[in-house]
A = this chain, B = another copy of it.
């Protein structure tokens, strides 16, 4: 078998690290970080508890690693709409569709991030940085919209962005697992459009 890639095969350690991440992803989807013990994580990955610390500083570090991946996915999925202008419903719908799916499969994980709001710890700082980045991009979009004559000028762009982001995140967090996906997307499209543009877009009915 010829060496197709110069990248060396994943070492034993790499595989163990991945195993820990897998166990954690699975567990944190249903349980809280607080109730998950390092023992479980290590045991699930086939190593002793103290060996765990060779790979991660703490269980929060594992969560952070997982969330990093997810937040990158979320940001990417939303880029087409965030980088556009005007009430581009198809793009918004597509973005929301992806987000709802991600929340359905990994909602438990994403929710863990909400569990630390205001604690001031590392995870909290990470989380609010992610939120802020999203809000900044949305603020820019709103300013672009307004410059192009779309939407109403009522609340400051930054305020509107904050609230729209809060609406989106909170609705997904609370209802992604409860309300049917398609309905959730429909509802959010209407709500966000109304929030951003003040009027309902011409109905196709």
Q: Which chain A residues have a beta carbon within 8 Å of chain B's beta carbons?
A: 31-32, 34-35, 107-108, 111, 114-119, 131, 152, 154-156, 159-160, 162-163, 166-167, 169-171, 173-175, 179, 183, 186-188, 190-191, 194-195, 198-200, 203
Contacts and interface: CB of A to CB of B under 8 A. Distances in A.
A166 B170 CA distance: 5
A111 B194 CA distance: 28
A199 B167 CA distance: 18
B117 A173 contact: yes
Contacts of A175: 162, 166
Contact of A162 (B31, B174, B198): B174
Contact of A190 (B115, B155, B167, B187): B155
A191 B160 contact: yes
A170 to B, nearest CB: 4
B111 A174 contact: no
A160 B191 CA distance: 8
Contacts of A155: 186-187, 190-191
Nearest to A173: B117
A127 to B, nearest CB: 10
Contacts of A163: 167, 171, 187-188, 191
Nearest to A128: B174
A73 B167 CA distance: 24
Contact of A195 (B31, B107, B183, B191): B191
A172 to B, nearest CB: 9
